Structure 1
Amino acid sequence: MQRTPRGVGHSPARRDVRASPVRRDEAVIIVVMTFVFVVALIVGLYALLVMGPEVSAQRALKKRLRPADPIKKSRLTLPASELRERGATPFKAFRKLIDQSGLRLTVPALIFMCWMAGFVVGLITWMLTARAAVAAFAGAAAMTLPYFWVRYVASSRLWKFEEQFPEAIELVSRALRAGHAFPTGLSMVADEIGAPVGPEFKLLHDRQNYGMALPDALRAFAERIPILDARFFVTAVLTQRESGGNLSGILDSLASVIRERFKVKRQVKVISAHGRMTAAVLSALPPFVGLSQMVIAPDNFKLLFSDPLGIKMLLGALVLQAVGMLVISKIVNIKY
C-alpha cells in the first residue's frame, strides 16, 4: 500500500485558484486599456484625416486675414521677461512651433500624438515588465518624441530658409531697381522662390494686401521667423521707410552680409562634424547594445526587468544617458 507523499495532492490546484483572481484582474486591465487605445486611435485618425484638412484650410484663411496683435507689434524691442508676463502660454508656444515647422498640424493634434506615443509605449512596457513605475517612466519619455520631431522639422526648415533668404532679398532689390514697388517685389519672391521662403513671403504680401499695415506685417514676419537675418531685413526696411534712402542698395549689402554669415556657419558646421558624429555614436551605443543583448541573450536581459536591483540599474542608466546626451549636445552645438 502506497502512501501519498506530503505536499502532493490538491495544493497546486489551490495555488491556481488563489492566483486566478490576479490573472483575471490583469486580463480585465489589458482589455480595458486595449479598448481605450482602439477608441482613441479611431478618434485620432478621424480628426487627422477628416477634420484635419478642413481645420488647416480655415486656419490658413484666418491666419491671412487676422489683424496684428498689439503685443506682437513691439516684439522686436520688448525683453523676453516682459513678453512672458503679457500672457504667453504653452499652447501659443506649440502653435508658434507648428507654424515654424510648416506642418499641417493643429495644437490638439500634436497633443494627441504626444498622448498616443506615451500610451502605446507605456502599455507595451507594462505588458513586458508588469511594473507600473517602469511603464509610467517609459510612457512619459515617449510623450516628448512627437514634440522633438516637430522641433527638429522646424529647425531644419529655418536652416533652409536662412540659406534661401539672400536670394529672396536680392530678388526684391532687383525689382526695386527695375521700378517696381516693394509689395510687388514681395509678390515676385512668393511666386519664383520655393518653400520655405516663398510661402512666408506670400503670407507677408497677402497680409499687407488685405489691409494690414506694412510695418505690422513685417513685424509679424520677424516674429514668425525667429532668425537674426529676418530681423535685419525688417529693421532695414522699416528704417528706410522712416528716414529714406536707397533701399535696393541696402538690401544688396544685407544679402552679401547674410551670405558671408552663412558661409561662416557652414565652416563651423564642417569643423564640428567630427564632434557631432562622435556625439551621435556615443548616444546610440547604449540603446544598440541593449537591443543586441535582448536578441542575443533574452534570458539575461529579462533580469533587468524582473529583479528590483535590475530595474533600479536600468532607471539609473536611462537618467545618466539623458544627462550625457544633454552635456554632449551643449559641447558640440556651437553658437555662432
Structure 2
Amino acid sequence: MTPLLGLLALVLLAWALLLWRRGRRQVASVQMLGRLQESDPERRTLRFPWLQRELLRAGLDMQSLSVRLVPFFLLAVLALSALLGNWPLFILILLLAPVLLRIWLTLRYRRRLQRMVEQLPTLLDQVIRSLKSGRTLADGLLTAMQDSTEPMRSAFARTSRNVLRGMPLEEAMDDFADLYERDELRILALGVRVNQRYGGNASDLLASLIVLIRDREKGSRQLRALTGETRITAYLLGALPVALACYIFLTNPAFILGMWNDPSGQWVLMFSALFQVVGSLLLWRMMRSIA
C-alpha cells in the first residue's frame, strides 16, 4: 500500500500545482468573460469560466448539443463501469478523460490560432485600404471582420457584436487578444488602443504589423525545418521507454507482474513512471522552445 499512497500523493501534488497555475489566470479570465457576456445575455447562465474560455479558444460553443452530450456520455461510461465492477477501467477513464480532453482542446486551439495568424495580414491589408478610402479605423476593422473567412470570421464575430452593441473598440480588441494570447494580436490591440486614445497614422502601424507577421511566419518555418531532426529525436526518446515496457509486458508479462508483486519492484515501477512523465514534460518544453 505504501507505493500506492506515494503515487496518490504525487498525483495530488501535481493536481495542486495545476490548480495554482489556473488560479493565477482565473481572475483575468473571469473579468474578460464577464465583459464579453455583458453584451451576450443568453450566455450569462454559463458556469465554469475556465472551461468556457478553453471552448471559445478552440472554436466550440458550450451551448451546442455536441458539446453538452460529451459529459453525459462520459458519466454513462463511468456508471456502466461501476455497475459492472470494472474498477480499473473506471479509474483509468476518470484519470485519462480530463487529460485527453485538455490535449484535444489545446491542439484544436493551436491549429485554429495558426490559421488565424495566417489570415491576419489579409485582414489588415483590407483595413489599410479602408483607411485610405476615408473610413475610420473602427469602420475598417468591422468591415474586415465581417468579410473575413473562417476561422477568423467566427473568432471576430463576438468582438464585432460587442462593438456594435456599444463596447469601446479598444476594450473589445483587448479582450480578443487576452482570449487568444498571441503576440501579433496583442500588438494589434495595443495599436488600436493608442490610435483611439491619441490618434495617429494607423495605416503605417498596420503595414508594419503585416511585415512583422510575415517575417515571423517565415522565420518559424525555417526554424521548424532546421530543427526537424531534433524534434523527431525527442519523439523517439519519449516513446521508446513506453514502447519497450509494453513490449516486455506483452512478451513476458510474468516479469512485470513479478516486479509489481514485490515491494521493492513496486517502488522501481513507480519511480520509473514518474521519471518517464517528468522526462516527457521536459522534452515537450524543450520542443516548444524551438518550435
Question: Counterpart in 1 of 2:281?
Answer: 326
Write the distance in 2 (CA, Å) between the matches of 1:328 and 1:117: 36
Question: Counterpart in 2 of 1:276?
Answer: 231
Question: Counterpart in 2 of 1:250?
Answer: 205
| TM-aligned CA distance change 1:319 to 1:118, over 3 Å | farther
Is the 1:229–1:258 Cα contact (8 Å) retained in structure 2?
Answer: yes
Write the distance in 1 (CA, Å) between the matches of 2:130 and 2:255: 70
Larger helix proportion of the pair: 2
Unaligned runs of 5+ in 1: 1-58, 68-89
Which of 1 and 2 has greater Rg? Answer: 1
Is the 1:100–1:225 Cα contact (8 Å) retained in structure 2?
Answer: yes
Question: What percent identity do the matched residue pairs reach?
Answer: 24
Question: Counterpart in 1 of 2:191?
Answer: 236
Q: Does 1:314 find its partner at 2:288?
A: no
Q: TM-score with structure 2 length normalisation?
A: 0.69
Letter in 1 for 2:248: Q
Is the 1:118–1:142 Cα contact (8 Å) retained in structure 2?
Answer: no
Q: Does 1:169 find its partner at 2:140?
A: no
State the shift of 1:139 in Å.
4.7
Q: Which string of whole-angstrom CA distances, capped at 9 and with x for unpartnered residues, describes residues 243-262 of structure 1? A: 22222232112211221122
Question: Counterpart in 2 of 1:65?
Answer: 39
Letter in 2 for 1:103: L
Is the 2:78–2:94 Cα contact (8 Å) retained in structure 1?
Answer: yes
Q: TM-score with structure 1 length normalisation?
A: 0.61
Secondary structure at the counterpart of residue 144 of structure 1:
helix
Question: Counterpart in 1 of 2:250?
Answer: 295
| TM-aligned CA distance change 1:307 to 1:143, over 3 Å | farther
Write the distance in 1 (CA, Å) between the matches of 2:76 and 2:180: 29
Q: Does 1:93 find its partner at 2:50?
A: yes
State the shift of 1:335 in Å.
6.5
State the shift of 1:233 in Å.
0.7
Is the 1:96–1:224 Cα contact (8 Å) retained in structure 2?
Answer: yes
Letter in 1 for 2:280: M
User: Which region of structure 1 is more displaced relative to structure 2, 244-253 or 314-323?
Assistant: 244-253
Write the distance in 1 (CA, Å) between the matches of 2:209 and 2:186: 11
Question: Counterpart in 2 of 1:19?
Answer: none
Count of paired positions: 246
Q: Which string of whole-angstrom CA distances, capped at 9 and with x for unpartnered residues, describes residues 207-240 of structure 1? A: 1112222222222222222111111111112212
State the shift of 1:100 in Å.
1.0
Question: Counterpart in 2 of 1:285?
Answer: 240
Letter in 1 for 2:56: D
State the shift of 1:271 in Å.
2.3
Secondary structure at the counterpart of residue 150 of structure 2:
coil
Letter in 1 for 2:269: L
